[in-house]
Amino acid sequence: GAGVSQSPSNKVTEKGKDVELRCDPISGHTALYWYRQSLGQGLEFLIYFQGNSAPDKSGLPSDRFSAERTGGSVSTLTIQRTQQEDSAVYLCASSLELAGGFWTDTQYFGPGTRLTVL
Amino acid sequence: GENVEQHPSTLSVQEGDSAVIKCTYSDSASNYFPWYKQELGKGPQLIIDIRSNVGEKKDQRIAVTLNKTAKHFSLHITETQPEDSAVYFCAASIGNQGGKLIFGQGTELSVKP
């Protein structure tokens, strides 16, 4: 079946501009995550949506970063007034998370959006 | 805060040899430990995972072991092949509620033919 998709695959922008990155999770997956991967680094958690619960925004690095998830499916990560240090690959993942489940469910990743801020 | 340490950062082996990557975690409530393989320009792909109710899991040439007491887990790849060359990441769940993962810094594995 279709996996997690992200668009655009690459985005080049100028410092100070706003950008929007899109994630389409696997159909039926209730949980959605955004991560950031800087060059040669591990994955840094940004934000987590689970069903209708309030999102966990504890990983967002500044108030320039925000994300929303409409209709429990597609998510958009917005970075306002981009800075050069925002340059990274932004990865989205989704999982089939059962409400009240004890075990963490497998996360499936999209191909990422490579953001370059000039 | 929660932390996952991964070693080594780079690993070079000859084709056919075994490769071992080790991770330690800090949160004693972590109960889920996935391993991901990331090839250049692609997103991470899950290769194997283990939950805290078992100590070992194997899938063909790949195995993972978990020592909850010591809070460490390891990835073992046997009979390595050039196509195993990639960056491998370990991760641990944060506590036992919700789906957040904390990732290690990655190991770049190179398998020389």
Please write the tens of the pLDDT for every residue from A51-101: 888 888 989 999 999 999 988 789 999 999 999 999 999 999 998 876 555
Please write the tens of the pLDDT for every residue from B16-59: 999 999 999 998 888 889 999 999 989 999 999 998 888 999 99
The verdict on A111 touching B (C-beta cutoff 8 Å) is yes
In this prediction, residue A104 has a pLDDT band, given cuts at 50, 70 and 90, of low
- Shortest alpha-carbon distance between residue A75 and chain B (Å): 17
Interface of B to A at Cβ within 8 Å reads 6, 31-32, 34, 36, 41-46, 49, 51, 89, 91, 93, 96, 98-106
Contact A107, B34 (CB under 8 A): yes
Residues in chain B closer than 8 A to A56 (CB atoms): 98, 100
**Mean model confidence pLDDT for chain A:** 90
Write phi, then psi, for B92 (nearest 5 degrees).
-135, 140
SS3 A9: coil
The verdict on A24 touching B (C-beta cutoff 8 Å) is no
Please write the tens of the pLDDT for every residue from B67-103: 999 999 999 999 999 999 999 999 998 876 557 889 9
Residues in chain B closer than 8 A to A9 (CB atoms): none
**C-alpha dist (Å) from residue B21 to B6, B24, B35, B76:** 7, 11, 10, 7
Instruction: Give the one of A44, A103, A111 whose C-beta lies nearest to B51's C-beta.
Output: A103
Tokens of B104: 């290690």
In this prediction, residue B63 has a pLDDT band, given cuts at 50, 70 and 90, of very high
**What's at B5, amino acid-wise?**
E
